[in-house]
Chains A and B, each alone.
Chain A
Amino acid sequence: MTRTQRAWHLWTWRLIAPLALAYIVIALLARR
């Protein structure tokens, strides 16, 4: 794996994991 690929893997998850968690909480609060 190149340095760019490694950085890409790392930063994608630093971004999308909290995004997914935030989304789950929002969807949970919006439940009727």
Chain B
Amino acid sequence: MGHRYWHIQWTPYKKRYDAAVAVCLVAYLAVFYLASRLVWGGAHQLSDEIILMRATATAAALMLHIALSLGPLARLDRRFLPLLYNRRHLGVATFVVAAAHGAIAIGYYHGFGTVNPLLSLVTSNTQIRSISSFPFEWFGVLALVILLVMAFTSHDFWLEKLSSPLWKRLHMLVYIAWLAVVVHVALGAMQSEHSIMYPVLLGVGAVWLGAIHILAGTREARREVIRPRGDGWIDVGRVEEIPDAGAATVSLPGGGRVAVFRYDDKLSAVTDACAHQGGPLGEGRIVDGCITCPWHGFTYRPQDGCAPAPFTEKLATYALRVEAGRVYVSDSPFAPGTPVEPVQLQEVPHAVA
């Protein structure tokens, strides 16, 4: 039995994305280093190891917050969508920086004794009844292990092997990793150094992430309102409410969602869930004539829901009709990949007000 080897499908966009992440990271580390040297000079001079440990720690924490912000930000404002496409690359980079922080910390604090540094890390402090002296390293290890598993499986090979729902559930562990990072900092750096910046930055991060996730989720839930006509057709809204090269989405009485796309004065409807990972297609756009998923850029022809060759993914399609400028979608899908003649808007009187 063998497995097919899948290359990472590099595109110029992915390379630019990675280059931008690398440049920002190196610039951040350099500025952090120089600023630390300037602020703590003379008698208070810090060692290179300490500065690097802090630089990589703050960089990884910042990257984790950015990675967690991209999903809700893209749902709140489409302009963030390009940053979401290769979020996995940012995630892997976050793991690498966090691992560098872990390696420096373990080497610096546990590398000069007689006990194995990794063993020393988890056994040297057992004051679990204390808050201010709690072994905060344990939470750092937990976060790093979660990021390691996520980075290791950040490839379509694993997405296929683990199945999309299990993969997504596994990657939702990032929320636990974030919580572990908060506890790691609150019990670690926040206890040993009394700078007010630690609780303030941690608090701002928690409020920010909580607020944008709840805002994006609530806004989505509000769109769940279903307007059935009772004859198998669902009201989508007015034609002009559908953005050009974009979509309006509507929930179906039986669960699930349909995305109605408008492009070249035509309308087509497909299921809102991408065949790759259930991504919200209706939040994507029509690029080069194809529906493009906002999550990972999977593409589908709007008229039959099929991914262009050589890809084989297929989406369920839906019948559409326009009456007096309002769009209606059938509440029952056609089999995935069934061609449906797009509704021509110029043929429909009063279609565009």
Residues of A within 8 A of B (CB): 1-3, 5-10, 12-14, 16-21, 23-28, 30-32
Pair A2/B278 contact, Cβ less than 8 Å: yes
The answer, yes or no, to whether B114 is at the interface (CB within 8 Å) is: no
Known: A6-B221, A10-B214, A10-B218. A16 touches B187 (CB 8 A): no
A-B contact pairs, 7 of them (CB 8 A): A2-B273, A9-B71, A12-B172, A17-B213, A17-B214, A27-B191, A30-B191
* Chain B, interface residues (CB within 8 Å), range: 35 or more
Extra inter-chain contacts (5) besides given A13-B209, A32-B191, CB under 8 Å: A6-B220, A6-B221, A7-B217, A20-B179, A32-B132
Known: A10-B221, A12-B172, A12-B175. A21 touches B191 (CB 8 A): no
Pair A1/B280 contact, Cβ less than 8 Å: yes
Pair A28/B190 contact, Cβ less than 8 Å: yes
Minimum CB–CB distance for A7 against chain B, Å:
8
The answer, yes or no, to whether B335 is at the interface (CB within 8 Å) is: no
The answer, yes or no, to whether B99 is at the interface (CB within 8 Å) is: no
Residues of B within 8 A of A (CB): 71, 131-132, 168, 172, 175, 178-179, 182-183, 186-187, 190-191, 194, 199, 202-203, 206-207, 209-211, 213-214, 217-218, 220-221, 224, 251, 255-257, 273, 278-280
Pair B194/A16 contact, Cβ less than 8 Å: no
- Report how far A7 CA is from B224 CA in the complex, Å: 12
Pair A24/B202 contact, Cβ less than 8 Å: yes
Q: Which residues of A contact B209 (CB under 8 A)?
A: 13, 17
Measured CB to CB, the nearest residue on chain B to A9 is: B217
Q: Which residues of B contact A6 (CB under 8 A)?
A: 217, 220-221
- Report how far A1 CA is from B131 CA in the complex, Å: 39
Measured CB to CB, the nearest residue on chain B to A14 is: B214
Q: Which residues of A contact B191 (CB under 8 A)?
A: 27, 30-32
A interface, by DSSP: helix, strand, loop or mixed?
Answer: helix
Q: Which residues of A contact B224 (CB under 8 A)?
A: 3
Q: Which residues of A contact B273 (CB under 8 A)?
A: 1-2
- Report how far A2 CA is from B280 CA in the complex, Å: 8
Pair B213/A10 contact, Cβ less than 8 Å: yes
Pair A23/B183 contact, Cβ less than 8 Å: yes
Pair A21/B132 contact, Cβ less than 8 Å: no
Pair B194/A31 contact, Cβ less than 8 Å: yes
Pair B203/A21 contact, Cβ less than 8 Å: yes
Minimum CB–CB distance for A30 against chain B, Å:
4
Minimum CB–CB distance for B275 against chain A, Å:
13
Pair B131/A5 contact, Cβ less than 8 Å: no
- Report how far A25 CA is from B225 CA in the complex, Å: 39
Known: A1-B273, A9-B213, A20-B179. A27 touches B206 (CB 8 A): no
Known: A1-B279, A12-B172, A13-B209. A24 touches B199 (CB 8 A): yes
Pair B175/A24 contact, Cβ less than 8 Å: no
